[in-house]
A and B are shown apart, each in its own frame.
Chain A
């Protein structure tokens, strides 16, 4: 018998970031690791705004200088692989990036992003999105638009939904007195 798959979910609709319209795409390739997002030598910094100054340093130096609030990072396969450093999604938040679109995500980065309030969006056709494209999320309708073209996106796993709806794991956990151990 499988365990019951239920989690506290406030609503079934992903909260779309207010910046999810006409986002400028910063395009990256496959296997973008968290060392590339924020190199190890900056991990003594815990402040998102300070981390943001070094985002993609050595990988794409123009990013930290030119990124604007509400831009979107678009990656290929296995985005966010490697180190568990939460400094990676925090650096993106500091840079004003609230959404990352990729063909697939590495596990820890995916979970960290949701926990801190960056929305990871799985789009099997992410490779077709051009650098500089204007991206609009239509999460409820299951697709995104990039330069006018529609590409399907995958829904977030159900058990992560409650955390997204709360606005991150801190907000989710704040009012919890205890947790339902060994229940789904």
Chain B
């Protein structure tokens, strides 16, 4: 019987045949901690008797959720983490680089065939590089920092095979919202989701990251795209690695296979208050919005901002609403800046912030009041996620967000 890419990764790491359902203490290539879950992870590391982390070079630390520090408590958490990084010899990107997942991938901290953990649920995004990556809690992270290994129950895999050509202004975010609505908020619990098919092969890394990022919204342990030319090209300059084959075998055993044809796919919008509620934009077009957020680890890349800028054209964002745009990292910010898009966005009326999580997690800034509506390119629309529990959050693509920011109501980007 053939093996899935996930089974292959665990087997390669351990030098023996490992299959879905096996429980294994697997060695880790990397671990990521940020300002929200990091302090607890460090505390747990010490409580476990930890003295030195397993490999300072394998640990990545940065602050992105509450930066620049928005409270004395956040500032104190940052101080605590800086001290740990200095003591342990861990490279700390501090507040300067951007959203953890984007930065981890950009810095080459996840690569094909590796096993990487992060103390954040959207760590599954690194699967876009062909790594097995999963989000863990702080205590598991304390354990990972101490031992460089963690127990895994190797997951079964759902194969999502995607075919067809996207319509103009429809893309990876619309696809993953549609897949999430199909599989459901817990349809992939304890499973990996492998994205395959001709359409996925044609996606750039940015699109693949958007897909893998949201595997957790179906309960998934990991999202993954087998490495190909696009992946290896992206790894150049980031890692010295020779390309190798890591594809799932044709006779690999999947938990299930699902096929998606994107040819007729409309722009999708997930409606409050769950992520698996995606509907065609036409169903909710005309809904008033108070705030539009374009950014986050899901959709804050240069490619996303180019899409938003193309929709914007020479128009202005509606002065009746707030439009907040945040590139996901320093690199993405610089690319956007050099392309002249930051100036374009600012002149059109947007507030462009420095790279960070922004309104996505409803902790730092950009919160919504009772009765307000947020339209966001991020990944979660749970009640209260972006502020008041009496507010509403809708999720969409950068194109739909930009179109809606122009009109002040949810708008089909194909009609702007």
Contacts and interface: CB of A to CB of B under 8 A. Distances in A.
Interface of A: 1-3, 5, 7, 31, 33, 35-36, 39-41, 43-46, 58-59, 77-78, 81-87, 90, 104, 106-108, 111-112, 115-116, 157-159, 168-170, 173-176, 178-184
B44 A170 contact: yes
Contacts of B71: 44
Given A2-B17, A85-B36, A170 B139 contact: yes
B137 A182 contact: no
Contacts of A33: 380, 382
22 contacts: A2-B22, A3-B14, A5-B23, A7-B151, A39-B389, A43-B36, A43-B65, A44-B77, A44-B363, A45-B73, A84-B119, A84-B121, A104-B186, A104-B189, A111-B137, A112-B138, A112-B140, A173-B49, A174-B47, A181-B149, A182-B25, A184-B24
A118 B24 CA distance: 23
Interface string B319-354: 000000000000000000000000000000000000
A170 B74 CA distance: 25
Given A5-B22, A108-B137, A182-B27, A85 B219 contact: no
Contact of A40 (B49, B142, B361): B361
B219 A174 contact: no
B30 to A, nearest CB: 16
B293 interface: no
Interface of B: 13-19, 21-27, 36-37, 39-40, 43-44, 47-49, 65-66, 71, 73-74, 77, 119-121, 135-140, 142-143, 146-147, 149, 151, 153, 185-186, 189-190, 216, 219, 221, 274, 361-363, 367, 380, 382-385, 388-389
Nearest to B362: A40
Contacts of B47: 170, 174
A170 B142 contact: yes
Contacts of A174: 47-49
A85 B25 CA distance: 23
A106 B137 CA distance: 12
B190 A58 contact: no
Please give me the 6 A-B residue pairs with the lowest Cβ-Cβ distance, nearest first: A58-B389, A44-B73, A112-B137, A182-B14, A40-B363, A78-B186
A31 B380 contact: no
Given A81-B219, A182-B14, A184-B22, A35 B40 contact: no
A159 B74 contact: no
A81 B49 CA distance: 30
A82 B48 contact: no
Nearest to B154: A3
A37 to B, nearest CB: 11
A36 B384 contact: yes
B248 to A, nearest CB: 18
A35 B385 contact: yes
A44 B21 CA distance: 36
A181 B219 contact: no
A165 to B, nearest CB: 15
A44 to B, nearest CB: 4
